[in-house]
A and B are shown apart, each in its own frame.
Chain A
Amino acid sequence: MSTLKKSAAAALLLALGACFALAESPRLGKPITEADVAAWDLSILGDGTNLPPGNGTAAEGAVVYAQKCVACHGENAKGGNNGSLVGGPPLDRIEATKTIANFWGYPTTVFDFIRRAMPWPQPRTLSNNEVYALTAYIFALNKLIDEKDVMNAQTLPKVKMPNRDNFIIRFPKEI
């Protein structure tokens, strides 16, 4: 086959491929903007990308905690019907209880989980300031930050989690 014929054949294949791709989709997705999604867009990335504006301290967090969290997580976050948020056993057994202090690798995960799933009966009712404050309260109880530290989009991602470097990606080829 000549080069010309080859390229003509390749072009035909490409055109056919494009036709099939177009034919496969009725293209009915309604165009929207990022602003339209803003109310749903809870995604915070590991480096702190997309953390919302706002701030909070441990002292402010203690007040919110007493109102909205203590019923399940107990006085001073030491555990009630649901798990303790302070301390944690050594990871000396495969069934060790995983806690914020002994296991969680990213400070953003604490903010993210409180914001999306807590408090249990009324998820996504806390203000961003309240979530920052609760995060500060839990971090301070675990001595990951000082009592006076303010948590916000700049400071929170810099909190050093003790277990951060103890993870192994199980199947890197999948990524």
Chain B
Amino acid sequence: MRPFKRRKRGDDLSAFQPIAGNGLLDRRALLGRGIALAGAMGAGGAASLTGAAAEPLKEEPWSLEPGDVLAPYQQPSKFERKVVRILSNPKGEPRTQHARTPHQMLNGTITPNGLHFTISHQGNPEIDPDKHRLVIHGMVKQPLMFTLDTLARYPMVTRTTFVECGGNSGLLFSPEPVQTDVQNLHGLVSCAEWTGVKLSVLLEEAGIDKTAKWMIAEGADAPALSRSIPVKKALDDAMIALYQNGERLMPGNGYPMRLLLPGYEGNTQVKYLRRLKIVNQPGMSYYETRTYSPILPNGKAYRFFFLQEIKSFITQPSPGLTLKEPGLYEISGIAYSGTGKITKVMVSADGGKSWGNAALQAPVLNKAFTRFRMAWRWNGGPAILQSRAWDDAGNVQPTRAEIVATRGQTKTIPRVGGFPSQHYNGITSWGVAGNGEVKHVYA
């Protein structure tokens, strides 16, 4: 790429300097004075960058009368009714239910509680918080029982972290790009601010046996969902989470308490947590030895994957968000890593031939969503948008080709909503056509 001639300091035009091919612009273009971004992709009614208002301004009816009565618990505007989760099993048939987060319609880094993804293997239990109990037993000096009231008197900690299903993004194992949106491809990850009690405090109180290596966590839901967790993790940053974005947990996210294991596979972060048993070997439960053990091309399988490895994807533009006209846009997306803090996200508009550094929205937190942004001048021609992330543990998001080389790809095309394999964290590519339409592509 040919660098622009260097201009004088303070020259506003320097903000428009390209930093990579096909229209990627220096990050200062995002912040430069007087620069309007045509950011309202696909939302309709995007104002022209150049023209004056087509009609004279007038008063609308809602400005000329008193408005609605306040609700005790407010809901989003009726104009936002399409901003909802996609349900895989809306009638609650006897199988797992999934609800996927609409990332393409959200911004920032926190997933609203009503839109946080949920997977429920036998429905959400309706738990009376006064009757719920948490017990810690097994290889401890003194087995203990806690109520919600007693836990409320413990010192609380708050941290922001993502939770991701081990099967999220699994459609990208397909040999051909499955044509659907970011919600169906990557909607089984969300990020919230969680508040609760550090598990290490409770384990110390029970007097955990120093030789114990495993902790079996179990929920109070119908399947008594059970996973084996390394004690190492339990004593590190595990939390008994009681609050989600400031309010009590949503039923779909584990009300009244869940195990929070920052950076670990969502299924290990047992919801409706009622029992922790300290043991010397894993339980080899259904979910750890079957569901979340991905098959490898040689017929063997991984077990105890635990980590949700570094990943990023672009949320705007993305399939369904059609570009209205050539001009300046913001490319925006989410990066996160179960192994640390995001240090760098690079974006490409030419299918990976050239890359530019995206701006990272502060604060950048450990094992949490990091919003990245990149200014882009779309010239109306074809473009392939990609993002790639790095973390402070030295991990780099792999390309799709790198994933396929080690993990393989499916022989058949999976259906939307299917789980052909688990733990895909490679690059996602969006192809922008001349008419502004965005499609899922491989590049």
Chain A contacts to B: CB under 8 angstroms: 21, 24-34, 36-37, 40-47, 49, 72, 81-82, 90-96, 98, 103-106, 108-109, 112-113, 116-117, 120-121, 123-124, 166-172, 174-175
Contact = CB atoms under 8 A, between A and B. Distances in A.
Interface in B270-304: 274-275, 277, 279, 281-286, 289-291, 293-297, 299-304
B205 interface: yes
A170 B302 contact: yes
Interface residues of B, number: 70
Contacts of A29: 136, 142, 144-146, 150, 202, 205-206
A24 B201 contact: yes
Interface of B: 93-95, 121-122, 135-138, 142-146, 150, 153-155, 173, 201-202, 204-206, 213, 216, 218, 222-224, 226, 230, 232-233, 274-275, 277, 279, 281-286, 289-291, 293-297, 299-307, 407-412, 414, 420-421
Given A25-B204, A37-B143, A109-B286, A116 B153 contact: no
Contacts of B138: 43
A40 B274 contact: yes
Given A28-B154, A46-B284, A103 B279 contact: no
Nearest to A46: B284
A42 B135 CA distance: 13
B233 A174 contact: yes
A94 B146 contact: no
Main secondary structure, interface of A, reads loop
B223 A123 contact: yes
B301 A166 contact: yes
B290 A104 contact: yes
A41 B143 CA distance: 13
Contact of B285 (A40, A92, A112, A170): A112
Given A25-B205, A170-B304, 11 more contacts: A29-B202, A32-B137, A92-B299, A94-B295, A103-B293, A103-B295, A123-B222, A123-B224, A167-B302, A171-B306, A174-B232
Nearest to A21: B204
B303 A170 contact: yes
A25 B154 contact: yes
B233 A36 contact: no
A94 B420 contact: yes
